[in-house]
Amino acid sequence: MAIGALTPPQAESAPQEVLIEFPDNRLLIDLCGEYDRNLAEIERKLSVQILRRGNQVAIMGEEAAQKQAIEVLNALYHRLESGRAVDSGDVDRELRMGGSDAGGDPGDQLEMFKGGPVEIKTRKKLVEPRTDAQKAYVRSLFENELACGIGPAGTGKTYLAVAVGVSMFIGGHVDRIILSRPAVEAGEKLGYLPGDMKEKVDPYMQPLYDALNDFLPGKQLAKLIEEKRIEIAPLAFMRGRTLANAFVVLDEAQNATTMQMKMFLTRLGEGSRMVITGDRTQIDLPRGMPSGLADAERLLKTVGGISFNYFTSRDVVRHPLVAAIIEAYEAET
């Protein structure tokens, strides 16, 4: 249902105020959040003041900020009308993207290619990009057989790639998911870790397990891993394989050597999709050894069917301090 904005006459000395009326007071309660924390977040990010009056919300502040606040509130209310919940991540996404997906309805993922909302359906949750760069990246993952996501930590490169992989797997587009990382030492020696080779390597793979646990129920995930329909393996274990009908992700690709990257890229088989993610600022290779990610970026930039998506500190969706930390390190270098 459309939500109108009413602007009553104001005295010249009074601050400009815009009123928005929401038909369903129960949805408005969910929109505001516990202790009005969603409204507080919008106030903080847009430098406006928001007051709730019955089933109306008053917004005070600069005109441009008021308009953006109206877009965000309308987008979140529309989300609630469609039966979806609103949490802090949804508020953050609408603030970053300006309510740009407010008019879309949840439905078939192919709607993303018609200007609708970009959504990734998994067994446990619906995943939605929270920045324009993330949205473009997800589109590339669905549209290209080989996609690269390059940027700093916390920008969702791996998380979104695994989500798309799970979505394509449960949709029957691929038969299996293969997730890989170079097992490169970052200050610690593998040999000093206890256990056999798998036990030594598993800690390096843990972020991939974490992502999968977000999208698949635990028992189903364990069964799929046992059946080898989902594999998590170090990059070195990929040599000699042909990966057909699979969704393949190489994470932390900046730590692959040039030869490892070539080996990995040439594993791509019939009916497969491949995603490469990495952060050029966190290379753990020995000094003087070139990164395979940089070489692949240079050599494949003009090859058709391969996409490159880039992220910056503005796309960080972890704690706000992470973006500030990244910017501080970038300024130093």
CB 28 within 8 A of CB 9: no
Q: Is residue 13's pLDDT more than 50?
A: no
Cα angle 57-60-65, degrees, rounded to a multiple of 5? 105
Mean pLDDT of the 78-92 span = 85
Angle, in degrees to the nearest 10, between helices 258-265 and 292-300: 60
Burial 249-284 (b: 16+ CB within 10 A, else e): bbbbbbbbbbebbebbbebbeeebbbbbbbbeeebe
**Top-confidence residue, 89 or 210:** 210
Question: Comparing 42-56, 106-120, 167-181, 235-249, which segment has the lowest mean pLDDT?
Answer: 106-120
Distance from C-alpha of 121 to C-alpha of 215, rounded to nearest angstrom? 9
- pLDDT of 188 strictly over 80: no
pLDDT at 286 over 80: yes
Question: What is the pTM (predicted TM-score) of this model?
Answer: 0.76
Specify whether the CB–CB gap between 17 and 58 falls below 8 A: yes
**Contacting residues for 325 by C-beta, under 8 A, at least 6 apart:** none
**47 touches 66 (CB < 8 A):** no
Per-residue pLDDT at 111 exceeds 70: no
Q: Which residues contact 38 (CB under 8 A, 6 or more apart)?
A: 31, 32, 76, 86, 88, 91
**What is the DSSP annotation of 87-109?**
-HHHHHHHHHHTTTTTT--S--G
Using CB atoms within 10 A of its CB, is residue 47 exposed (0-12), middle (13-18) or buried (19+)? exposed
pLDDT value at position 101?
47
Structure-block tokens of residue 150: 């390059």
Say what the pLDDT of residue 150 is: 96
For residue 55, name the pLDDT band (cuts at 50, 70, 90).
confident
Taking the C-alpha atoms of residue 98 and residue 319, their distance in angstroms, rounded to an integer, is 20
Task: Return the residue matching tokens 């003041």.
Answer: 49
Rounded to whole angstroms, the maximal C-alpha distance in the chain is 76
Question: What number is the average pLDDT over the span 264-283?
Answer: 93
Residue 126 has pLDDT above 60, yes or no: yes
Mean pLDDT of all residues in 225-229? 93
Q: How far is CA 329 from CA 21, 255, 323, in A?
A: 45, 19, 10
Q: Which of 19-33, 117-131, 184-198 has the lowest mean pLDDT?
A: 184-198
Interatomic CA distance for residues 7 and 18, integer angstroms: 5
| Own/partner pairs, 91-95, CB within 8 angstroms, 24+ separation | 91/33, 91/38, 91/41, 91/42, 92/41, 92/130, 92/317, 93/128, 93/129, 93/130, 93/131, 95/41, 95/42, 95/45, 95/46
- Nearest-angstrom CA–CA distance, 138 and 123: 18
Confidence band, pLDDT 50/70/90 cuts, at residue 92: confident
- pLDDT score of 53: 86
| pLDDT for 187 | 47
Averaged pLDDT of the chain: 84
CA atoms within 13 A on the CB side of 143: 18
Which two three-digit tokens encode residue 263? Answer: 């080996």
